[in-house]
Amino acid sequence: MDDNFSSFSQITDEEFKFIKDLMYKETGIFLADHKKIMVQSRLNSRARMHKMQNVSEYIRGLQADRKFFQSELTELINRITTNKTDFFRENHHFEFLKDTFFPSVEEKALKSGKKQLRIWSSACSTGEEPYTIAVTCAEYFMHKPGWDIKIHASDIDTNVVQTAQEGIYKADRLEPVSEALKKRYFLKVKDLSGKNQDTYQVKPEIKSMIEFHKVNLLETPYPIREKVDCIFCRNVIIYFDKPTQKKIFENFEHVLKDRGLLVIGHSETLFGISEAYKFLGHTVYQKKPKI
């Protein structure tokens, strides 16, 4: 640690407002006042890394130095965004895929002759969600040849996207995964220290199903250049205000096929936000077809 750095410097209300406004403008995320302590902590680590005397110096750098602002913005967003996820989190969604959605996709394929499935995990964090989707697909379509399945996975945080692409997890992260699925779809590997710790890597056949992107949900057009059958956007919109939520779900309409699935988090709702989706239950919605 730099000897001149205060062990933990506080930010003023004005400085917090600057960060709030910046995050809202760049990501659409609304930082409530109770997030001030969290923001202080994350900014302290960035200021310390740059060998600055305190957080105020760091914020002045963002305000006054355009080159510093441009070079620091991505890392600042990475630090402040929240990334909480698990394998098979809110498992009823994956049960819905197997029991209801995949059979309906198969039925459409019989009529169209096109065995294709596209799913977008739009806030994939460290990868547990898209890998769970891929495993669920692999299990269901295991004995159904000829299917072309692709999962798009994205996040605004470049660090977690990189972690997701690596697909390496400590054993405790795989606790929700059954032993049978773990054996079928994960390989036990050495950890980064080279020791044989309980560390697992997603098998290549599962990783090959997923294409990773960095995506800011406010910035359109999205790099997802094809219509998808299903979008997962779970536990994300709670960080946005209502106008931003409305905009995001409007943007999803352009990517999602008619009667495609939209899956959101257990504490979220589209009530009062969008009329373009039909509620199916358990935070699962279906895009209404264009008349």
Residues with a known catalytic role: 42, 155
For residue 251, the surrounding DSSP H or E stretch is helix 242-255
The strand pairing partners of 199, in sequence order, are 170, 189
147 and 114 in contact (C-beta within 8 Å)? no
For residue 227, the surrounding DSSP H or E stretch is none
Token readout for 37 is: 């302590």
For residue 47, the surrounding DSSP H or E stretch is helix 36-49
The angle subtended at Cα 33 by Cα 62 and Cα 214, nearest 5°, is 55
Of 155, 119, 161, 114, nearest to 137 by C-alpha is 119
**Measured distance CA(154)–CA(167) in Å, rounded:** 14
The strand pairing partners of 154, in sequence order, are 213
Long-range CB pairs of 276-284, under 8 A, 24+ apart, other chains included: 276/249, 276/250, 277/249, 282/92, 282/93, 282/96, 283/90, 283/93, 283/234, 284/93, 284/96
103 preceded by a cis bond (ω within 30 of 0)? no
**Measured distance CA(76)–CA(250) in Å, rounded:** 27
Q: What is the largest CA-CA distance in the chain?
A: 70
Please report, as a single letter, which amino acid is at residue 81. T
**Measured distance CA(181)–CA(197) in Å, rounded:** 20
Classified as helix, coil or strand, 151 is strand
